[in-house]
């Protein structure tokens, strides 16, 4: 396969290189694309040095099978035609096309077959918070249809990019020297703080990040009546998002049923031995592939409810890994 | 009034001194009590140096009107009789007596009059997470009876005491020097992490901290059918707890109704201008008295639901301030 990575210098772009190597993706050639700022840089892939090419309206994607794109929604919109013109499948990590009716929104553990229904050659990768949640919702939904979800998130700095991680480290360094913290990437100081504000606010008082969890979950799960109310919060963690989730199902489920369903579900690793202080945490999840699930219990405020806790590295499963898994599914299940 | 502080050297004990001064509590004499480890230390109160006396079975509380006790549940159980023997009202910050039928559990904004129904001379101060939540639930419950609550917490290190705050700072200092973080007060490293585990686990999979929110809310609000499902999480913040809350009421409420109710409710300060990046955050709430409330919106997963975000300094309103407010209420509303 011939692949391209667009936005190669970003946090997710760099993770694409790692994930393509880790998954032993069948690669014949690999090309990297970036903005004026990053073009000319070189990155090594499996021992080979690869130079970042400039992405512009003249860029030639002929011969490319899969283009993994993570350079923001405006770049995706501007260059989708350039990228897909010669038949490359564009797997787009931005929010640009996610809700378009003719662009599938795919999480391989949930709706892999949707990837083949992409008339524009574009497949959208969902938002990181949504990916990790739907992976854990799917096995529950198989037991009994989910009617609604309440979710509070604990989102890592890296969700705002590589420079946001640097800002958090710099803030801690400054504060420990008695200096004041420099704030640029986030709305407020993140060190020793939590910020209930990710992406911009919409008219109904929810942020766009929260509404993504609402709309994208419906689309991925083919469940227009499944309602999600989210509160998305940035926390001073480097990598891996955590989510406190309550689901209401059509029939009451037992904790044992749900635990068994999680134990055999693809992409999920169960860590649920609280007596041994074993439960998912971002510190342990960073740099790994699974969606970790634990703290499974009855919702004591709802007879049809189950509550649990999920943690996943949002740059791997929440972005690069999910996109690569979509491509692998298409390669391994040709239509 | 003659007052005593038991557990004077702890984080809450120190806050009692501050709050008694800040509230201009009518004090004639003040005495401090502590363990062998802290007795003999002196603390200044309104310019006067006061020595910590040893708390033992011989301690004489005669003449004391109010004893503010915050030295853990086992100390409260062991010395309740000693403290109350001569008629002192013991306002206890521990969990020792909270669920006893003959001990009122009081939040002045919610059920102040319960303070006068204390046959054992003991009034319990609720858990910090509960206090902050019920202050915000009460004005909603006045509009329409609350049926259930889902809440995810973001709890500061200081909830585990003064030495836990030091541990978090030390962890950050060590990590920024490339050293490993020392873990003692928490189950795991808290720096750059979140830990879904506060207090011990109970048989139903909830922690005792989470079950406190369930049981204490029912008792304070005189609402045996109000069900609370909580997920309590420690975050690397120094001071002030945050809570993402969803409430379901008997009739549907509008955001405007709820906002108006919050705006005039005692103890609450509304910060809800998201377009100006104004919402409650622990960094701004630390060291202040109010329960800050914001991010008020419809629960889009429940037609009878409202969602909001609350932040409060759990050492002030969540502990010392609430206890002092109970005493002030009793002084100002004599029976």
pLDDT at position A162 is: 82
Q: Measure CB to CB from residue A283 to each of B189, B235, B244 and give the nearest one.
A: B189
Do residue B281 and residue A195 have CB atoms under 8 angstroms apart?
yes
Contact of B125 with B204, CB cutoff 8 Å: no
pLDDT band with cut points at 50, 70 and 90 for residue B161: confident
Span B223-237, mean pLDDT? 98
pLDDT at position A335 is: 86
Q: CB A73: neighbour CB atoms within 10 A?
A: 14
pLDDT band with cut points at 50, 70 and 90 for residue B335: confident
Summarize pLDDT for A196-247 with one digit per residue, the tens.
999 999 999 999 999 999 999 999 999 999 999 999 999 999 999 999 999 9
Chain A residues whose beta carbon lies within 8 Å of the beta carbon of residue B207: 274
Q: For chain B, what is the radius of gyration of the CA atoms? A: 20
Distance from CA of A132 to the nearest CA of B (A): 17
pLDDT band with cut points at 50, 70 and 90 for residue A73: very high
pLDDT band with cut points at 50, 70 and 90 for residue A38: very high
Rounded Cα distance, B258 and B245, in Å: 13
Q: Does B332 touch chain A (CB under 8 A)?
A: no
Chain B residues whose beta carbon lies within 8 Å of the beta carbon of residue A227: 300-302
Taking the alpha carbons at both ends of chain A, their separation in whole angstroms is 16
How much is the mean pLDDT over chain A? 96
Distance from CA of A201 to the nearest CA of B (A): 7
pLDDT of B273 higher than 90: yes
pLDDT at position B318 is: 87
Summarize pLDDT for B40-90 with one digit per residue, the tens.
999 999 999 999 999 999 999 999 999 999 999 999 999 999 999 999 999
Contact of A223 with A217, CB cutoff 8 Å: yes
User: Active-site residues of A: which are they?
Assistant: 128, 241
pLDDT at position B59 is: 97
Grouping H, G, I as helix, E, B as strand and the rest as coil, residue A137 is helix
A335 compared with B133, residue with greater pLDDT? B133
Rounded Cα distance, A222 and B225, in Å: 35
Structure tokens, A160: 């705002």
Rounded Cα distance, B261 and B311, in Å: 17
Do residue A204 and residue B300 have CB atoms under 8 angstroms apart?
yes
Structure tokens, A287: 């740099």
pLDDT at position B77 is: 98
pLDDT at position A161 is: 82
Q: Measure CB to CB from residue A172 to each of B152, B172, B301 and give the nearest one.
A: B172
Closest CA to B137 of B265, B322, B282: B265
What part of B 196-235 touches A (C-beta under 8 Å)?
Answer: 196-197, 201, 204-207, 214, 227-229, 231, 233, 235
* Nearest C-alpha in B relative to A200: B275
pLDDT band with cut points at 50, 70 and 90 for residue B149: very high
| For chain A, percent of residues with pLDDT exceeding 70 | 100
Do residue B281 and residue A152 have CB atoms under 8 angstroms apart?
no
Closest CA to B256 of B292, B294, B296: B296
Summarize pLDDT for A267-321 with one digit per residue, the tens.
999 999 999 999 999 999 999 999 999 999 999 999 999 999 999 999 999 899 9
How much is the mean pLDDT over chain B? 96
Q: Does B279 touch chain A (CB under 8 A)?
A: yes
Span A20-29, mean pLDDT? 96
Chain A residues whose beta carbon lies within 8 Å of the beta carbon of residue B228: 300-301
Rounded Cα distance, A164 and A170, in Å: 10
pLDDT of B11 higher than 90: no
pLDDT at position A204 is: 97
Q: In the annotation, is B215 catalytic?
A: no
Chain A residues whose beta carbon lies within 8 Å of the beta carbon of residue B275: 201
Span A88-101, mean pLDDT? 97
Q: In the annotation, is B232 catalytic?
A: no
- Per mean pLDDT, which range of B159-163, B184-188, B234-238, B280-284 is the poorest? B159-163
Q: Does B287 touch chain A (CB under 8 A)?
A: no
pLDDT at position A11 is: 87
A46 compared with A189, residue with greater pLDDT? A189
Q: Where are the alpha helices (DSSP H) in B87-203?
A: 128-143, 162-176
Grouping H, G, I as helix, E, B as strand and the rest as coil, residue A281 is coil
**pTM listed for this prediction:** 0.96
pLDDT at position B271 is: 98
Do residue A228 and residue B300 have CB atoms under 8 angstroms apart?
yes
Contact of A43 with A8, CB cutoff 8 Å: yes
Do residue B301 and residue A150 have CB atoms under 8 angstroms apart?
yes
Query: Dmax over Cα atoms in chain B, in whole Å?
Result: 61
Q: Does A283 touch chain B (CB under 8 A)?
A: yes
What part of B 27-46 touches A (C-beta under 8 Å)?
Answer: none
Q: Does A238 touch chain B (CB under 8 A)?
A: yes
Rounded Cα distance, A62 and A56, in Å: 14
């Amino acid at each position: 396969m011939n692949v391209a990575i667009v936005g190669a210098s970003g946090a997710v772009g760099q993770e694409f290189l790692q994930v393509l190597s880790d998954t032993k993706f069948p690669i014949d050639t690999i090309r990297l694309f970036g903005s004026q700022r990053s073009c000319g840089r070189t990155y090594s892939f499996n021992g080979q040095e690869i130079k970042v090419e400039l992405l512009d309206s003249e860029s030639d994607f002929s011969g490319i099978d899969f283009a993994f794109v993570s350079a923001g929604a405006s770049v995706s919109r501007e260059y989708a035609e350039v990228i897909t013109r010669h038949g490359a499948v564009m797997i787009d990590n931005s929010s640009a096309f996610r809700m378009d009716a003719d662009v599938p929104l795919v999480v391989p553990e949930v709706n892999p077959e949707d990837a083949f229904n992409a008339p524009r050659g574009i497949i959208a990768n969902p938002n990181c918070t949504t990916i990790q949640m739907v992976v854990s919702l799917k096995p529950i939904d198989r037991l009994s249809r989910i009617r609604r979800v309440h979710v509070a998130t604990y989102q890592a700095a890296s969700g705002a990019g590589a420079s946001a991680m640097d800002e958090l480290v710099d803030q801690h360094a400054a504060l420990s020297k008695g200096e004041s913290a420099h704030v640029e990437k986030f709305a407020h100081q993140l060190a020793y703080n939590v910020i209930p504000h990710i992406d911009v606010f919409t008219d109904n008082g929810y942020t766009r990040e929260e509404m993504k969890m609402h709309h994208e979950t419906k689309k991925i799960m083919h469940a227009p009546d499944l309602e999600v109310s989210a509160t998305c919060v940035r926390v001073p963690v480097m990598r891996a998002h955590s989510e406190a989730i309550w689901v209401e199902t059509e029939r009451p489920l037992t904790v044992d049923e749900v635990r068994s369903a999680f134990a055999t579900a693809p992409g999920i690793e169960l860590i649920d031995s609280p007596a041994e202080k074993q439960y998912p945490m971002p510190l342990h999840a960073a740099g790994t592939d699974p969606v970790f699930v634990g703290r499974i219990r009855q919702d004591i405020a709802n007879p049809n409810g189950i509550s649990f806790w999920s943690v996943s590295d949002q740059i791997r499963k929440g972005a690069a890994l999910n996109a690569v898994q979509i491509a692998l599914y298409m390669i391994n299940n040709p239509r």
